[in-house]
Amino acid sequence: MYSITDIENKLRIKLRDLTDAKWTDPEKQEAIVEALHDPAFTDIIEDETLVVSAEQAEYTIPDVIDQVSRVYFDLSNTKTMIPGDQWEQVNRTIRFRMLPAFSQLYTGLMPDGATLYLVGFAANPTTIPEEKSNLCMYLASVYLYEMLMNKYASGLLMSDITLAEIMTALNYWEKKVEVERGRYRRATNSLGYRV
């Protein structure tokens, strides 16, 4: 496992920017944080700690999930998916549109006492697995070269680098990202949900 500082040090070496001539430390850290928002660094989580109450339309999302993608309920070991247009996530709350206003329509669908399954994503890790460290570094490089291009375009870059050189480097890092991403693509996770 690599820390964000480890990735920053690897990035500094890979970009040959040991003296922070092109990017400052805060810019490198910002690029790494931005890279960690990529879906490749999220984990799919299933939580089954909530229990349905017929009178309750809102439930607090457990801390293990940042973003809910699917909702199921289970009574008698049979999972039934709740259509996405019947619920919404509002901050740390999942709100069902069908309860209580339309509860007559769904009385048998989501019975009192059923287990509520939330499937979602946990993001923003503080450590990066070794096998994904290159992807993080390549994504951060893309963001840094985009910053450099913006500096150039706004006249803030006082250097002997040309726009063509920046674009060439940006294309290089984008290709590296795609190759690395191809190594980690997957259609389903270990729980069997489509990603």
Q: Do 167 and 111 belong together in one domain?
A: no
User: What pLDDT does 36 receive?
Assistant: 85
Averaged confidence pLDDT in the chain: 80
Q: Do 23 and 47 belong together in one domain?
A: no
Whether 192 is in a domain gets the answer: no
pTM reported for the whole predicted model: 0.59
Q: Do 50 and 117 belong together in one domain?
A: yes
Whether 68 is in a domain gets the answer: yes
User: What pLDDT does 98 receive?
Assistant: 62
Indicate the pLDDT class of residue 21, thresholds 50, 70 and 90. Answer: confident
Q: Do 118 and 47 belong together in one domain?
A: yes
User: Which residue segment(s) compose the domain that 177 sits in?
Assistant: 2-40+125-184
Measured over the CA atoms of residue 7, residue 10, residue 16 and residue 18, the dihedral's sign is positive
Instruction: For residue range 126-178, list pLDDT tens digits in order.
Output: 788 888 888 999 999 999 999 888 888 877 766 778 888 888 888 888 998 88
Residue where a domain stops, chosen among 74, 103, 122? 122
Residue where a domain stops, chosen among 98, 122, 146? 122
Number of compact structural domains in the chain:
2
User: What pLDDT does 155 receive?
Assistant: 76
Whether 191 is in a domain gets the answer: no
Whether 139 is in a domain gets the answer: yes
Residue where a domain stops, chosen among 80, 98, 122? 122
Whether 195 is in a domain gets the answer: no
Q: Do 57 and 84 belong together in one domain?
A: yes
Instruction: For residue range 30-76, list pLDDT tens digits in order.
Output: 999 888 878 777 778 888 898 888 777 889 999 888 888 889 888 77
**In the chain, what percentage of residues exceed pLDDT 70?**
85
Q: Do 84 and 130 belong together in one domain?
A: no
Whether 17 is in a domain gets the answer: yes
Q: Do 135 and 117 belong together in one domain?
A: no
Higher pLDDT, 121 or 110: 121
User: What pLDDT does 46 receive?
Assistant: 87
Q: Do 150 and 54 belong together in one domain?
A: no
Q: Do 22 and 79 belong together in one domain?
A: no
- Nearest 5°: CA angle at 161, between 8 and 163? 100
Whether 190 is in a domain gets the answer: no
Q: Do 116 and 129 belong together in one domain?
A: no
Whether 97 is in a domain gets the answer: yes
